[in-house]
Amino acid sequence: MSTDVSSHDYQGDAQRVFDCLHGGGIAIVHMTVAYAIISGTEDALRGVYAAKQRSLDKASGIVANLQSHDEIQILSDEAKRMVRAITVEHDLPLSVIAPYRTDHPLMKPLTPFLSSMATKNDTVNFLLNAGPLRDHIAALSLEANFPLIASSANLSQHGTKYRAEDIEPEIRDAADVIIDYGDTKYMQNGLNAEYALSSTQIDFGTLRLVRKGICFDAIRDVLKDEFGVTLEQGDT
């Protein structure tokens, strides 16, 4: 059952999560698209991948908000307008993949290992508009120049989780903090489906669809109707 959003202490919970992560811990947090597991150090990230049974060949994303996107990701003015139309004007969640400023203070602290886990082919993945808790955590990360790495809170290839109670015990056991706000906004039918939907990912450097996910039809329509863009399907 969904929780009354007015009862959430986003700022306080974000600070508790950030303090945990900054101290080398692991946190599971609620987002509008699904529950995420976040880390900020090499040891913590290795712990996340071990708990998820996820291959180290698969990159994750960096926790970001619109300010992080503006300062770090390198896009054309038209692509920036597309991102804002989707995430701000139409209030849709979106994973933006784009080249990035390696010299930005948030990106410079990444060790070679963390960079290899958080970037791919000279691009970085920022999930935007995934809820106020994630935005507050991203703001703390940006202010402290302490990058945080996130992925879905589930065993690899077992589908994203839309309720905290559906997260596998081995994933929950890996976390030092769990922020449970109840059901996610875009909770799908078939909660334990093997390949439950996560965010839609688009490479805005090439206008290529990387992953079809939550709100894809609405995102596709915004790009086509407002920008005349038909997404090309790429390899996932």
Task: Say what the pLDDT of residue 25 is.
Answer: 98
Q: Scanning the structure block, which residue is given the tokens 């976390």?
A: 175
DSSP-assigned states of every residue in the chain: -BPPGGG--HHHHHHHHHHHHHTT-EEEEE-SS-EEEEE-SHHHHHHHHHHHT--TTS--EEE--HHHHHHHB---HHHHHHHHIIIIIS---EEEEEEB-TTSTTTTT--HHHHHHHEETTEEEEEESS-HHHHHHHHHHHHHT---EEEESS-TTS---SSGGGS-HHHHHH-SEE---BS-TTPPSSTT-TT---B-EEETTTTEEEE--BTHHHHHHHHHHHH---PEE---
Q: Is 4 exposed, middle or buried (0-12, 13-18, 19+ CB in 10 A)?
A: exposed
Task: Say what the pLDDT of residue 7 is.
Answer: 82
pTM: 0.91
Helix axis angle, 77-84 to 216-227, nearest 10°: 130
* 54-103 pLDDT, tens digit each: 999 888 999 999 999 999 999 999 999 999 999 999 999 999 999 999 99
Task: Say what the pLDDT of residue 159 is.
Answer: 84
Task: Say what the pLDDT of residue 2 is.
Answer: 39
- 231 falls in which pLDDT band (50, 70, 90)? confident
The yes-or-no verdict on residue 196 having pLDDT over 80 is no
Average pLDDT, the chain: 92
> Per-residue pLDDT averaged across 14-35, rounded?
97
The yes-or-no verdict on residue 53 having pLDDT over 80 is yes
- 223 falls in which pLDDT band (50, 70, 90)? very high
**How far, in Å, CA of 16 to CA of 197, rounded?**
28
CA R_g for the chain? 16
> Per-residue pLDDT averaged across 24-30, rounded?
98
Task: Say what the pLDDT of residue 189 is.
Answer: 52
* 149-164 pLDDT, tens digit each: 999 999 988 888 999 9
Q: What domains lie within the chain, and their CATH numbers? A: 5-233 (3.90.870.10)
More confident residue, 133 or 5: 133
Task: Say what the pLDDT of residue 188 is.
Answer: 61
